[in-house]
């Protein structure tokens, strides 16, 4: 299998990279990625993945675009207000790259949908701001042994966590065990600076592309970004013996 002439031209700048090449680009073109949440993180994630030539993007979000989203959710315009986010994003992404397939899921992810779509994906990118959805995705990715990249951001700060869901991998619930007193703070209560989302979403997209192209990502590591000092911190995490999920 070879890249078409259109693909060779379109993706030439990343195909020339050591570690990507034509085989890496073909791997991206054969991959299916599930992006859950098309908000502040999901917008840059889906933009970069679509531009990179991911063969099929499944984007899931049941919310509608609101005027307050436009400060940070860079796929949308004022004309998008009132439209479902997944559908509005899919329309924009199809114009960006007509060579790929995009499926919009205009519903909030529940147990049935998570099981169905995670089973189709080569990797899942969690861009939600809902901790219950993160636990749900974590469990279904464990069940299907599907790699998962979770991002989160509030204020000036963000974090990224990647797991391949192998037997030795720490899962999201190992790092953040379920509790009845789990924090519910998000950008609606704490605010958010748009470029922080671009940094975290860009890292999620980078890790997705690297994984699909066969390159190595840091695993069993929580990466935290402080936008005030513009510094990253990396924390090694371990698989919990008593984790209820894995």
Spell out the long-range contacts of 128-132 with Cβ–Cβ below 8 A and sequence spacing 24 or more.
Answer: 128/36, 128/37, 128/39, 129/37, 129/39, 129/186, 129/187, 130/186, 131/176, 131/182, 131/183, 131/184
157 close to 226: Cβ distance less than 8 angstroms: yes
Q: Give the residues across from 232 on adjacent strands.
A: 225
pLDDT of residue 180: 65
User: Token pair of 103, please?
Assistant: 């499926």
pLDDT of residue 187: 62
pLDDT of residue 190: 76
Residue 43 known to be catalytic: no
Start-to-end C-alpha separation, the chain: 38
For the chain, the farthest-separated pair of C-alpha atoms sits apart, in whole angstroms, at 55
Alpha-carbon span 217 to 221, nearest angstrom: 10
Options 43, 174, 187, 246, the catalytic residue: 187
Alpha-carbon span 198 to 43, nearest angstrom: 9
Domain count, the chain: 1
Range list of H helices, 83-185: 85-96, 111-118, 131-144, 172-175
Domain assignment of residue 83, given as a range: 24-236
What digits encode the pLDDT tens for the residues 165-208? 988 999 999 999 987 665 555 666 678 999 999 999 999 999 99
CATH number of the domain that residue 178 is part of: 3.40.50.720
What digits encode the pLDDT tens for the residues 38-94? 999 999 999 999 999 999 999 999 999 999 999 999 999 999 999 999 999 999 999
Q: Is residue 16 part of a domain?
A: no
Alpha-carbon span 11 to 150, nearest angstrom: 26
Cα dihedral across residues 120, 18, 224, 175: positive or negative: positive
User: Token pair of 15, please?
Assistant: 């195909």
Q: Is residue 203 part of a domain?
A: yes
Q: What percent of the chain has pLDDT over 70?
A: 96
Q: Is residue 91 part of a domain?
A: yes
C-alpha angle 32-211-116 in degrees, rounded to nearest 5: 30
Instruction: Quote the pTM value.
Output: 0.95
Q: Is residue 8 part of a domain?
A: no
**Mean pLDDT over the full length of the chain:** 95
Q: Is residue 190 part of a domain?
A: yes
């Amino acid at each position: 299998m070879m890249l078409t002439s259109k693909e060779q031209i379109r993706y030439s700048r990343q195909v020339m990279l050591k570690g990507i090449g034509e085989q890496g680009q073909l791997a991206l073109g054969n991959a299916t990625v599930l992006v859950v949440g098309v908000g502040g993180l999901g917008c840059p994630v889906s933009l970069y993945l679509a531009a990179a030539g991911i063969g099929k993007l499944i984007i899931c979000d049941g919310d509608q675009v609101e005027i307050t989203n436009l400060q940070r959710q860079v796929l949308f315009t004022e004309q998008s207000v009132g439209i479902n986010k997944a559908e509005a994003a899919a329309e924009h992404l199809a114009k960006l790259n007509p060579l790929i397939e995009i499926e919009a899921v205009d519903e909030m992810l529940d147990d049935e949908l998570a099981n169905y779509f995670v089973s189709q994906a080569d990797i899942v990118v969690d861009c939600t701001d809902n901790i219950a959805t993160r636990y749900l995705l974590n469990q279904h990715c464990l069940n299907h042994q599907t790699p998962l990249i979770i991002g989160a951001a509030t204020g000036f700060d963000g974090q990224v966590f990647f797991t391949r869901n192998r037997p030795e991998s720490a899962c999201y619930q190992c790092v953040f065990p379920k509790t009845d007193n789990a924090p519910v703070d998000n950008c609606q209560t704490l605010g958010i600076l748009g470029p922080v989302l671009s940094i975290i979403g860009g890292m999620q997209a980078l890790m997705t592309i690297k994984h699909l192209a066969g390159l190595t990502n840091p695993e069993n590591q929580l990466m935290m970004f402080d936008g005030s000092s513009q510094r990253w911190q990396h924390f090694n995490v371990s698989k919990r013996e008593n984790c209820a999920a894995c």
